[in-house]
RNA sequence: GCCCAGAUGGUGGAAUCGGUAGACACGCAGGACUUAAAAUCCUGUGGCUUCACGGCUGUGCGGGUUCAAGUCCCGCUCUGGGUACCA
């Protein structure tokens, strides 16, 4: 193919075709010219209006660019070039999102440093991009893997760490201000987005140890360390964000993902939930992307609501006391006072100790519990710092220890003296008693406690006493809290459902139901996330035997558990209204529970009526109200009675920010006594260290733990790295000021360029990248780094260019001499095999191979390169066999279809190395030229639509360029020939029609239609035999954004020394399109029969008269009188008979 | 299930405001030039019907509004994308 083209260009064309269109040399020349003249360099100090066009920068994968990548880049390039013609100072940069998993996976397999792989891939990408002639300002290139770049990614992390979200001002503020406030007045009046509401005074804050302060501050910081349930992917050895997990497997690689509790860096994106939601309304994005973000943020407004239990809580196990603090609160309390790094272990020990209490311990506890001694509240087996105290009172800062107890690991190592010392340091007094004392002289022991308690004044509530606040005391733990968006349906509640994991399940379950409930809980625990997701239809649950009291009707409501209720959302409990919620309805039907209707509408005997419309019935004080009004009234009543509060829930979770990976930005954090600190800004960047292997350590720590001297002034560095989206969340800012060594972006640069006028990229980033980048932008606005709140004003999603995926299936079989062989088989056999008809498959294979087959097994499916196939069939069987064997699938036979051709299953799918269907744009460029590729990709259809790649039609576009070229050249000898004669009216009309269309189409991103307008223009000019400069020069300016090389060449042939890029966009003049008359379509009852020409200034009445007088009209009227006549000036005439 | 987008010739698609459906291109058929091929150019090309003029029909399906509907409204079917026991 190639050699033929070369042959013609070298030997034939120069001889006979002096000036034909040699795209290869033309394109190379101009690409060189643009690079040498820095034609597309953007100026930060221009007086011109600015226009910022951005493409989503690519991850430089090993497969190189495929024809799908440039689609969006071509569109943005057209807009950039157009805007330059229109007199804008255009910023159109490109870079690489070069941290990522594939390079690291490759590094693990080969030992090759990811930086090397990445560098090679970038070189290849750059070459491919250059071939297409983009007008990028390469002097501004950024790479997320550059230390000069991730310096500032780390800097942003530090700002997040040093920031907290002040709800009062609805913005992020410096943590130092918060610390000052804590010191002055405590946190009672701080309205922050934080994890826990610990209340302390200013003096208490000042009395806290450094460690305690830091622990509390972590609850406020926007970048924080916490124990979170994460999506752990063992195969990849890392955690994944929610949007990186699809259907229980990793989006990249498709490996299973499990839920795991880990200490992780997270970003408090949820603080910005409302602003992220509100901001969407101001954006020029497609509705579907905005909707996807709204769903992801998942705002739901409703109310919290308490149901009191009908009977007091029964202890689930003999030894566990009725608690006035629920287990959750107890755990939170532990967490507040415990050493976080040891918390997980300690918690288990504490629970274990409680369950296995010694006799002496039980004796003391029976005396201390329920405020029996001097009304002092004691807790048992409570975690303080690294220790588990046997008994503790926070008000009196008193710890009571019994000797002879089995302590936790740490306790065994550290002596009792040391324990006492540390506890004293924390402000506690320790009283020690031996088991013998307790057994022989309990009264003496209690007396000592009493006299101590009476000797001191109890302290005001401390942070440790969180959970002992008024609210907890009032509730007395005997209620269950719910969240509902439909408080109006409160009278339709016929049962309550708790998640199987709900904390109260064990405590409320009656003995009669205990076995079944425990069984069910175990069952749901063992069901993996994936099973639970896959199996949505099966309804399951158990009755706990317990009842709650309806807050208004005071009737008894049974409490069930069911795994359709998620522990992680709301309160993990649902007030079930089966008549008006489809899931509750299904549950009620399945277990035969009542379905009382409280909103009019629908047919409750068939299905639930979920619509938020209708009048309330059977609902006491809500009767007769519309749903909306009823919701309002119900909330008022619930709040008035102290049963709950109007509340807004968001589905948006805080973003986990750490990855147990090597190839990412190091998190600029070090640990001092287990407390995280950020490094000083002057020490940035913290460069990614060298490691011997890119794998976790033997002890399971991330790869960075392998690095030598991985510490900061002797303090160990964080070993996790940032996730892939860190670098891409702010890269658009760095382009504005890419070489600034002092700041991430200078204020002057960001004030000039502002936010992005046009952002083009794939819709696969709908929630991930676009949401995170918006979050960071809002944060950067809060801290004064950028002057705008939304980074991307207008977003256009280009559709994916899909490839063809060809699949064949491999079977292995044994022949008559017991040899094991393999054959590749057509699709129809595979479907038979799958449906269990292996007998039939064996028969067909045997018939083809011509021998008896004793055994036949399906082995796997193999994707075959598309280039082997013309149209789902394959004739070169030896070639295919060869390819299969080179891909590791040696086959002895191909099973041929009835048409004696080998058939392959063909589907459209993603273009990827994996499917062997990547089409390289370089091939198109060398065969047809970059201009043809650019025009063709635009001509394929609307930018936003997904389309399978095919080269049919590319000839037409190429032909068009050749035609355009010929307009400038003499027909006989092909010399350049443009005339300076004035243009004719018809020629000007064609030109201005095209100016109008091309201008409007770019503004509407309708690039396919403007390509067709150019074709129409060239066809018309060709018919007019037009070679006039007055027409052709403006025309190539119009065409140049699409096909810059050929236009640049023609522009210079026309005698211009400067780049066509500097030419002004032609101005449309409507005068040339003015028509004096119009060929009216004359229709009868809406059917067009013929046309009549009238002057356009002829009034409708006159047109009507003239039409009626026409003999054709008379013919079609067939003697009837028209009932009505419509004349639309310049459009149509319709006669109603 | 829910949300969003869409459905037009053999194919990709056009019709931006309710006003001649199928622009432009591919493919196909026929022709010109040529020893031949390539390249280029010309003609035709939704379906049915007719020697022809023409007629009928036609934008996923069924209704409706209108002088006029691919376009607006109601009810479906199917396809693509997103999302999910979110209370």
Q: What DSSP string describes A795-848?
A: EEEPPPEEEEEEEEEEEEEE-TT--EEEEEE-HHHHHHHHTT-HHHHHHHHHHH
Answer for the pair A23, A1045: CB distance below 8 angstroms, yes or no. Answer: yes
Helix/strand/coil percentages in chain A, nearest 5: 40, 20, 40
Give how far the C-alpha of residue A384 lies from the chain's centroid of Cα atoms, to the nearest Å: 40
Measured CA to CA, the distance from residue A571 to residue A304 in angstroms comes to 9
DSSP one-letter string for A376-401: ---EEEEEEBTEEEEEEETTTTEEEE
Q: If you average pLDDT over residues A632-657, what whole number do you get?
A: 86
Average pLDDT for residues A921-942, to the nearest whole number?
A: 91
Q: Which positions on chain B have an atom < 7 Å from some protein CB?
A: 1, 3-5, 11-16, 19-21, 23-27, 39-42, 55-56, 67-69, 80-87
pLDDT of A709 above 80: yes
pLDDT of residue A1: 30
Confidence grade of residue A438 (pLDDT, cut at 50, 70, 90): confident
Residue A558 or residue A349, greater confidence: A558
Judged by average pLDDT, the poorest of A291-300, A315-324, A600-609, A742-751 is A315-324
pTM: 0.78
Query: Separation of CA A1126 and C1' B69 in angstroms?
Result: 17
For residues A376 and A465, what is the distance between their CA atoms, to the nearest angstrom? 13
Q: Cβ atoms within 10 A of the Cβ of A184, count?
A: 11
| Cis peptide upstream of residue A524 (ω within 30 degrees of 0) | no
A1 CA, B37 C1': Å apart? 15
State how far the alpha carbon of A283 is from the alpha carbons of A287, A361, A441, A748, A1006, in Å: 10, 64, 76, 24, 20
Distance CA A1089, CA A424 (A): 103
Q: Please determine, for residue A320, whether its predicted confidence score (pLDDT) is greater than 50.
A: no
Kindly report which listed range (A147-156, A408-417, A534-543, A1069-1078) carries the lowest average pLDDT score: A408-417
* Contact predicate A391/A399, CB 8 Å: yes
Nucleotide B38's nearest residue (CA vs C1') is A8
Helices (H), A465-510: 470-475, 505-508
Q: Per-residue pLDDT for A241 more than 70?
A: no
Average pLDDT over residues A282-305: 85
What is the residue whose two structure tokens read 């924390």? Answer: A426
The nucleotide minimizing the C1' distance to residue A1003's CA is B16
CB A893 within 8 A of CB A848: yes
Strand A495-498, strand A479-484: pairing: unpaired
Alpha-carbon gap, residue A191 to A167, rounded angstroms: 5
Q: Counting beta carbons within 10 angstroms of the beta carbon of residue A75, is it exposed (0 to 12), middle (13 to 18) or buried (19 or more)?
A: buried
Give the C-alpha distances (Å, rounded to integers) separating A788 from A312, A529, A731, A775. 56, 41, 15, 12
Name the residue closest to the C1' of B3 by its CA: A291
Which of A1067, A996, A983 is CA-nearest to residue A1032?
A983
- Taking only the tens place, the pLDDT of each residue in A113-171 is 999 999 999 999 999 999 999 999 999 999 999 999 999 999 999 999 999 999 999 99
Return the SS3 of A371: coil
Tell me which DSSP letter residue A8 carries.
Answer: I
What band does A600 get if pLDDT is binned at 50, 70 and 90?
Answer: confident
Q: Which of A250-254, A342-346, A558-562, A803-807: highest mean pLDDT?
A: A558-562
pLDDT at A315 over 70: no
Q: Which nucleotide lies nearest residue A1018, CA to C1'? A: B24
Q: Which residues pair with A711 in a beta bridge?
A: A716
| Distance separating alpha carbons of residues A759 and A86, to the nearest angstrom | 19
User: Which nucleotide is at minimal CA–C1' distance from A536?
Assistant: B85
Instruction: Please report, rounded to whole angstroms, the spatial distance between the CA atom of protein residue A1012 and the C1' atom of nucleotide B22.
Output: 15
Tens digit of pLDDT for each residue in A354-393? 766 777 787 888 888 777 777 788 888 877 776 778 888 8
DSSP state of A229: E
Residue with the bigger pLDDT between A83 and A978: it is A83
CA atoms within 13 A on the CB side of A70: 36
Mean pLDDT across chain A, nearest whole number?
A: 82
What is the phi-psi region of residue A1005: left when phi exceeds 0, alpha when psi lies from -120 to 50, beta otherwise?
left
- Amino acid A622 CA to nucleotide B1 C1' distance, rounded Å: 30
Residue A392, phi then psi, degrees to nearest 5: -150, 145
The two three-digit tokens of residue A811, written as one number: 């079977």
Residue-level pLDDT at A289 = 85
Q: Using the CA of A763, give the nucleotide whose C1' is nearest.
A: B81
Q: Which nucleotide is nearest to A960 (CA to C1')?
A: B25
Cα separation, A836 vs A1029, whole angstroms:
73
Average pLDDT over residues A911-935: 85
The separation, in Å, between residue A1109 CA and nucleotide B77 C1' comes to 49
The pLDDT score that the predictor gives to residue A243 is 61
A574-602: average pLDDT: 88
- Cβ atoms of A779 and A771 within 8 Å: the answer is no
Q: Measured in angstroms, what separates residue A791's CA from nucleotide B25's C1'?
A: 38
C-alpha to C-alpha distance for A498 and A1030, rounded to whole angstroms: 79
DSSP assignments along A1085-1118, one per residue: TTEEEEEEEEETTS-HHHHHHHHHHSHHHHHHHT
- For A346, the token pair is 């300690």
pLDDT on residue A8: 37
**A342 vs A544 pLDDT, higher one:** A544
CA–CA gap between residue A756 and residue A388 (Å, rounded): 55
Long-range contacts (CB closer than 8 Å, 24 or more residues apart) made by A454-462 = A454/A374, A456/A396, A458/A395, A458/A396, A459/A394, A459/A395, A459/A396, A459/A397, A460/A201, A460/A204, A461/A199, A461/A394, A461/A395, A462/A200, A462/A204, A462/A394
- Reported ipTM: the value is 0.93
* Protein CA at A603 to nucleotide C1' at B74, angstroms: 22
Give the start-end residues of each E strand in A71-183: 89-91, 163-166, 171-174
Q: For the residues A581-606, what does the mean pLDDT come to?
A: 86
Query: Of A483, A604, A587, A588, which is closest to residue A540 (Cα–Cα)?
Result: A587
A892-921 exposure pattern, b = at least 16 Cβ within 10 A, e = fewer: ebbbbbeeebbbbbbebbebbeebbbbbeb
List helix spans (H) across A310-393. Answer: 327-337, 343-355, 359-368
Region A391-407 average pLDDT: 74
Give the closest nucleotide to A1010 (alpha carbon vs C1'): B24
- For residues A600-628, give the mean pLDDT: 83
- Residue in this structure with the two tokens 């302290």, named with its chain if needed: A459
Split at pLDDT 50, 70, 90, the class of A667 is very high
- Contact at 8 Å (CB) between A225 and A264? yes
Q: Which residue is nearest to nucleotide B15 (CA to C1')?
A: A1009
Q: What is the CA A370 to C1' B76 distance in angstroms?
A: 67
pLDDT of the residue at A812? 77
Whole-number pLDDT of residue A867 = 59
pLDDT above 70: residue A330:
no
* pLDDT beyond 70 at A316: no
Residue A863 per-residue DSSP state: E
Beta-bridge partners for A807: A863, A905
Q: What is the pLDDT of residue A302?
A: 85
Instruction: Note the CA–C1' distance, A959 to B54, in angstroms.
Output: 38
Residue A254 has pLDDT above 80, yes or no: no
Contact yes or no for A311/A302 (Cβ under 8 A)? no
Identify, with chain letter, the residue nearest to nucleotide B12 (CA–C1'): A940
* Alpha-carbon gap, residue A522 to A504, rounded angstroms: 15
Distance CA A595, CA A604 (A): 8
How large is the average pLDDT for residues A436-443?
Answer: 81
Higher pLDDT, A404 or A990: A990
């Amino acid at each position: 193919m190639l050699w033929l083209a070369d042959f013609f260009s070298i030997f034939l064309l120069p001889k006979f075709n002096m000036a034909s269109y040699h795209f290869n040399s033309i394109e190379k020349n101009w690409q060189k010219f643009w690079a040498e003249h820095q034609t597309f360099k953007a100026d930060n100090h221009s007086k011109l209006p600015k226009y910022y066009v951005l493409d989503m920068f690519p991850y430089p994968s090993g497969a190189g660019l495929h024809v799908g990548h440039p689609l969006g880049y071509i569109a943005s390039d057209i807009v950039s070039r157009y805007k330059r013609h229109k007199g804008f100072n255009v910023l159109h940069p490109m870079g690489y999102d070069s941290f990522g998993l594939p390079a690291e996976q490759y590094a693990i397999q080969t030992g090759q440093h990811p930086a090397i792989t990445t560098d090679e891939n970038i070189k290849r990408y750059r070459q491919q991009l250059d071939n297409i002639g983009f007008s990028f300002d390469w002097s501004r290139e950024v790479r997320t893997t550059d230390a000069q770049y991730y310096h500032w990614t780390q800097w942003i992390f530090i700002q997040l760490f040093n920031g907290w979200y002040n709800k009062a001002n609805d913005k992020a503020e410096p943590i130092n201000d918060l610390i000052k406030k804590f010191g002055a007045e405590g946190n009672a009046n701080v309205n922050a987005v934080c994890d826990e509401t610990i209340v302390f005074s200013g003096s208490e804050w000042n009395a806290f140890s450094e460690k305690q302060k830091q622990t509390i501050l972590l609850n406020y910081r926007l970048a924080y360390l916490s124990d979170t349930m994460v999506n752990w992917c063992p195969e990849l050895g890392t955690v994944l964000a929610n949007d990186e997990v699809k259907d229980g497997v990793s989006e990249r690689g498709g490996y299973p993902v499990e839920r795991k509790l880990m200490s992780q860096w997270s970003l408090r994106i949820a603080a910005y939930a409302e602003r992220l939601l509100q901001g969407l309304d101001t954006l020029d994005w497609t509705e579907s992307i905005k909707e996807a973000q709204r769903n992801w943020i998942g705002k739901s407004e409703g109310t919290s609501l308490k149901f009191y239990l009908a009977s007091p809580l029964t202890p689930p196990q003999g030894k566990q006391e009725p608690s006035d603090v629920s287990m959750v609160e107890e755990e939170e309390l532990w967490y507040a006072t415990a050493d976080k790094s040891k918390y997980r272990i300690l918690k288990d020990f504490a629970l274990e100790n409680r369950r296995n209490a010694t006799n002496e311990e039980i004796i003391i506890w029976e005396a201390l519990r329920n405020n029996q001694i001097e009304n002092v509240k004691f807790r048992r087996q409570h975690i303080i710092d690294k220790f588990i105290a046997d008994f503790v009172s926070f008000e009196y800062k008193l710890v009571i220890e019994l000797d002879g107890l089995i302590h936790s690991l740490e306790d065994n190592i550290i002596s009792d003296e040391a324990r006492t010392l540390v506890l004293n340091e924390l402000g506690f007094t320790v009283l020690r008693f031996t088991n013998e004392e307790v057994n022989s002289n309990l009264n003496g022991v209690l007396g000592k406690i009493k006299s101590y308690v009476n000797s001191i004044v109890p302290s005001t509530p401390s942070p440790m006493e969180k959970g002992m606040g008024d609210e907890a005391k009032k509730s007395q733990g005997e209620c269950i809290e719910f969240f509902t968006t439909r408080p109006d349906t409160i009278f339709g509640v016929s049962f309550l459902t708790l998640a199987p994991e709900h904390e109260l399940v064990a405590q409320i379950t009656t003995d009669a139901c205990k076995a079944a409930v425990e069984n069910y809980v175990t069952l749901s625990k063992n069901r993996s996330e994936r099973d639970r997701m896959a199996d949505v239809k099966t309804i399951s649950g158990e009755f706990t035997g317990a009842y709650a009291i309806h807050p208004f009707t005071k009737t008894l409501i049974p409490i069930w558990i069911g795994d359709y209720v998620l522990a992680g959302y709301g309160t993990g409990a649902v007030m079930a209204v089966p008549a008006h919620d489809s899931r509750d309805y299904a549950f009620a039907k399945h277990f035969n529970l009542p379905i009382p209707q409280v909103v009019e509408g629908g047919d409750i005997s068939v299905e639930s009526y979920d619509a938020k419309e209708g009048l309330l019935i059977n609902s006491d004080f809500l009767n007769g109200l519309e749903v909306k009004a009823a919701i309002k009234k119900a909330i008022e009543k619930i709040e008035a009675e102290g049963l709950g509060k109007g509340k807004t829930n968001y589905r948006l979770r805080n973003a986990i920010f750490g990855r147990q990976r090597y190839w990412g930005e190091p998190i600029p954090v070090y640990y001092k006594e287990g407390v995280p600190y950020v490094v000083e800004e002057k020490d940035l960047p913290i460069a990614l260290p060298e490691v011997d292997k890119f794998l976790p350590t033997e002890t399971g720590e991330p790869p960075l733990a392998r690095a030598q001297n991985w510490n900061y002034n002797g303090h160990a560095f964080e070993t996790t790295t940032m996730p892939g989206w860190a670098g891409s969340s702010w890269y658009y800012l760095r382009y504005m000021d890419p070489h600034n060594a002092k700041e991430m972006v200078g204020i002057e640069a960001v004030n000039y360029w502002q936010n992005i006028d046009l952002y083009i990229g794939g819709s696969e980033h709908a929630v991930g990248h676009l949401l995170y980048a918006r979050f960071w932008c809002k944060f950067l606005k809060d801290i004064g780094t950028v002057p705008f709140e939304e980074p991307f004003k207008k977003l256009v999603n280009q559709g994916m260019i899909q490839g063809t995926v060809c699949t064949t299936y491999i079977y292995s079989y044994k022949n008559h001499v017991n040899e094991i062989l393999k054959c590749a088989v057509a699709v129809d056999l595979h479907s038979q095999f799958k449906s269990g008809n292996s007998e039939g498959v064996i028969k067909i294979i045997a018939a083809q191979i011509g021998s008896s087959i004793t055994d036949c097994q399906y082995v796997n499916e193999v994707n075959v390169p598309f280039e082997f196939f013309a149209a789902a069939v394959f004739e070169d069987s030896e070639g295919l066999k060869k390819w299969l064997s080179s891909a590791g699938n040696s086959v002895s036979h191909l099973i041929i279809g009835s048409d004696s051709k080998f058939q392959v299953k063909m589907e459209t799918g993603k273009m990827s190395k994996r499917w062997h269907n990547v089409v390289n744009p370089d091939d198109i460029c060398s065969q047809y030229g970059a201009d043809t590729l650019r025009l063709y990709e635009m001509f394929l259809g609307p930018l936003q639509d997904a389309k399978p790649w095919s080269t049919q039609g590319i000839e037409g576009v190429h032909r068009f360029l050749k035609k355009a070229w010929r307009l400038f050249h003499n027909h006989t000898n092909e010399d350049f020939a443009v005339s300076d004669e004035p243009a004719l009216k018809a020629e000007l009309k064609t030109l201005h029609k095209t100016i109008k269309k091309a201008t409007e189409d770019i503004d509407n991103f309708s690039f396919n239609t403007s390509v067709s307008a150019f074709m129409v223009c060239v066809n018309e000019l060709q018919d007019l035999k037009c070679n006039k400069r007055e027409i052709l020069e403006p025309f190539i300016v119009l065409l140049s954004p699409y096909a810059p090389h050929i236009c640049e060449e023609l522009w210079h042939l026309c005698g211009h020394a400067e780049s066509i890029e500097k030419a002004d966009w032609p101005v449309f003049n409507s005068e040339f399109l003015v028509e004096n008359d119009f060929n009216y379509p004359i229709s009868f009852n809406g059917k067009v029969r013929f046309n009549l020409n009238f002057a356009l200034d002829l009034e409708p009445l006159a047109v009507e008269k003239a039409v009626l007088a026409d003999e054709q009209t008379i013919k079609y009227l067939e003697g009837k009188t028209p009932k009505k006549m419509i004349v639309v000036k310049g459009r149509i005439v319709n006669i109603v008979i």
